[in-house]
Chains A and B, each alone.
Chain A
Amino acid sequence: IVMTQSPATLSVSPGERATLSCRASQGITTNLAWYQQKPGQAPRLLIYSASTRATGIPARFSGSGSGTKFTLTISSLQPEDFAVYYCQQYNFWPPGPFGQGTKVEIK
Chain B
Amino acid sequence: QVQLVESGGGVVQPGRSLRLSCAASGFPFSTHGVHWVRQAPGKGLEWVAVISSDGNKKYYADSVKGRFTISRDDSRNTLYLQMHSLGAEDTAVYYCARDGRAGPGLLYLFDYWGQGTLVTVSS
A95 touches B108 (CB 8 A): yes
Tally of A-B residue pairs with Cβ under 8 A?
56
| Among B35, B61, B95, B110: residue with most chain A CB under 10 A | B110
Would you call B109 an interface residue if the criterion is a C-beta within 8 Å of the partner chain's C-beta atoms?
yes
Distance in angstroms from A28 CB to nearest chain B CB is 12
Chain B residues near A33 (CB, 8 Å)? 109-110
A96 touches B109 (CB 8 A): no
Chain B residues near A94 (CB, 8 Å)? 47, 59, 61-62
Distance in angstroms from B37 CB to nearest chain A CB is 8
Q: In residues 68-107 of chain A, which contact B (Cβ within 8 Å)? A: 86, 88, 90, 93-101
Q: How many residues does chain A have at the interface if contact means C-beta atoms less than 8 Å apart?
A: 21
A48 touches B109 (CB 8 A): yes
Counting contact residues on chain B (CB < 8 A from A), the size range is 20 to 34
Would you call A44 an interface residue if the criterion is a C-beta within 8 Å of the partner chain's C-beta atoms?
yes
Distance in angstroms from B40 CB to nearest chain A CB is 12
Give 18 new A-B contacts, CB below 8 A, not counting A42-B113, A94-B59.
Answer: A33-B109, A35-B45, A35-B110, A42-B95, A42-B115, A42-B116, A45-B100, A45-B112, A48-B100, A88-B109, A88-B110, A94-B47, A94-B61, A95-B47, A96-B37, A96-B46, A99-B44, A100-B44
